[in-house]
Structures are given as C-alpha cells and as structure tokens.
Structure 1
C-alpha cells in the first residue's frame, strides 16, 4: 500500500512515554489508548517539547486505520522508518540537539512524504540524563556551538536545494 520501493516516504512511528521505570508494554493500539487515557502514558515530550512531535497529530492517530500524511513543521523530530538509501543523518549533530530535526529537514527538502503509521507506536522509558543534554543545559558554549552548526546546516540546504530551502530558514528565524 505504501509502495516504499518506488516512492519517497518516511514512515512516522508515533512516540509515547511513561514516567514509570517499570511498564507492562501494551500489546495493541487499543491497550495503548487505554493506558494513555488512564495517565500511564503520555504523548512524547508533550510537557517539555510539544512541537517536536505535535505534527504527528495524535488526535487523528487515535482513530486512524490507514496511514496519513503530515506536513513538515519547524522542530519536527519524529522517529521514522525509511529506506536504506535515504539521506543520512548529518554528522555535525552528535551528542544532544538537532540530529533528528536536521534529518527530517533533509527528507522534506528531498520531497519525502511523512506518513504516520496508524497501528505502530513506540514508548520512551525514563532514564538518567545523558552527559550531552547536561552539557547543553549548563553550557552556553555548547548552545552557541549548536546554533553555529544550525546556521551552517541551513546554508548548506540553501546551496543544495536553492529557493525551496528558504522555508526552513524563514521558519528558524520566526521561532
């Protein structure tokens, strides 16, 4: 149905999270929805970074029975399944910050369709903060470096994709 062999598609796997260290993993979408409604699960990072996954459109996902297309939005960083020959992650973004965002930007620039899978999901389990996120939070140098890398990335997108890449730069400036 998705014809992955002949089309450019990135399959978005809706992400959820729990604040519990032990969880009985839901065996179905119905079970996941029940756990979501009871407060045992939440949409991923809704409380700290909602725009990272908001374009997934969780309200639509609840009742979806077929894959549906979503549009790129600034800071969208879904977990995706793609063909092996898709653009690779940009190696400038190691550690914390902008690895998934830059990858989705590149996929969008190459006109991949972002298709949300209606019966798939993943659950993020709690863990201690990584060394890199701790550095991001505590070091202005780390954040400044990341911003410089973002600017370089945008310039590279402009060189590669011309005026089509302007939407990414404009979106970045508005935020």
Structure 2
C-alpha cells in the first residue's frame, strides 16, 4: 500500500466506501444533505494529511470512527439548537440493535430521563450523547463547571441504580 500515491489511494477509498458511509450516516442523521456534508468534511480532513491513509490497516473501521467524530463536531457547531428539542430521546436510539432491544432501551431511557429535571436532562444528553465537554455545557447553560460535573456524576449514579 505504501508504494501507491496517497491521493490515488484516497480516491479509491472514496469510491469504494462512499455508499457504505452515506447509508451509515443517513441511518444516524435521517438526512441526505447532512450525510453528504459529513463525508465531504471527513475526506477534506483526510486530504490535509494524505500520508496517514497509507498506515491504516482496517480502512472501514477507521472511516467509521472518522465519520462519527466528524458528525460529533458537526453537532457541536449547532450547540444551543440541539438542547431545545424536547424529543431528543428519539435521536439517542440510533444504533445497530434489533427492534426488540431498541424498544427495550427506548423504554428504559424514557423512564430514566423522564424523571430528570429539564436542566439535568439537557446536561446528560449534551455530555453523553453529543460529547460536549464540561466547559461547553457550562457556557451553553450558564451554570458553573463544578455544578455541571456534580450533576453529571449524580445523574450517572442515579441511572445505574434505576437500571
């Protein structure tokens, strides 16, 4: 692999994995436009340092990881819009589980998150699902960082007990 021009290799990878990545992202986002944007952003990042592609052993896994991180970055840029959605629990359930397991998880999440205050729910969803750090959540909600940390700790502890 290392003797091939990295840009030719990137084009081959793009052609080979585009459909898979797009379907994967459409499953997560339910949007063709967002899926295409995320793939474009990922390959832009890859083109910035193309030599790294030659060092990858498991290309599909590497691309999926890259797509997930790029998607998280995309959601972080949208910040406050995400936390205003009261039906955000539905977006948490995008996974590769069977319908039965998804329904069970959905019911558990609704029960546990339904018992939380709006602020605690926003904090835990921002931290656990969207990957915000404590400082970002603090800035979004105008709550001190230490308060955010203690609330996340308490909510996690409570969720474990109730599970």
The two structures have a TM-score, normalised by structure 2, of 0.30
Would you tell me which structure has more strand in proportion to its own residues?
A: 1
The two structures have a TM-score, normalised by structure 1, of 0.29
Larger Rg: 2
More relative contact order, 1 or 2 (CA 8 Å, 6+ apart): 1
